[in-house]
Amino acid sequence: MLQSLGIERNNRWHFRQADGTVPERWTGIVVLSVAGRKTGDDVVFGEPGDLVLLGARTLEGLNLRVEPVTKLLVDAGPAPAATATCLHVDHAGLGRASSFGSALEPAFRSEFSCRVLNPGYGAE
């Protein structure tokens, strides 16, 4: 189906399956439109016998989830956002914690040691 849509094959990936086998498949890049929403993602060129599914990464990009009872796609609600927590080290070697969202402080000209805290996944 992807080939008939004119999707280019870009990369070869190895996929580990639940039974331990590791098939190799081509991937391509597409813009997907589902339930009135759009996102860009990689797609896998399957072979006969492969499953056809909408993966977790694509669902996250669309901000949708599968409602388990009705098995319908529904809004996933507010997307989790990362927060940067930084330790500012001044010239005296003293540190202070600083948190900020998307607005970067001018103090960034000083030395900082930062960790991105991603709720649900821990520090990155």
For the stretch 1-34, pLDDT in tens is 899 999 999 999 999 988 999 999 999 999 999 8
Secondary structure (3-state) at 111: strand
Dihedral (C-alpha) 62, 63, 69, 72: value to the nearest 10 degrees? -30
Query: For each of the chain's 124 residues, which pLDDT tens digit applies?
Result: 899 999 999 999 999 988 999 999 999 999 999 889 999 999 999 999 898 888 889 999 999 999 999 999 999 999 878 776 655 555 555 545 445 444 444 444 444 455 555 555 544 4
pLDDT at 24: 97
The rounded mean pLDDT for the chain is: 78
Kindly state the DSSP code that residue 36 receives in the 8-state scheme: T
The encoded tokens of residue 92 equal 């005296």
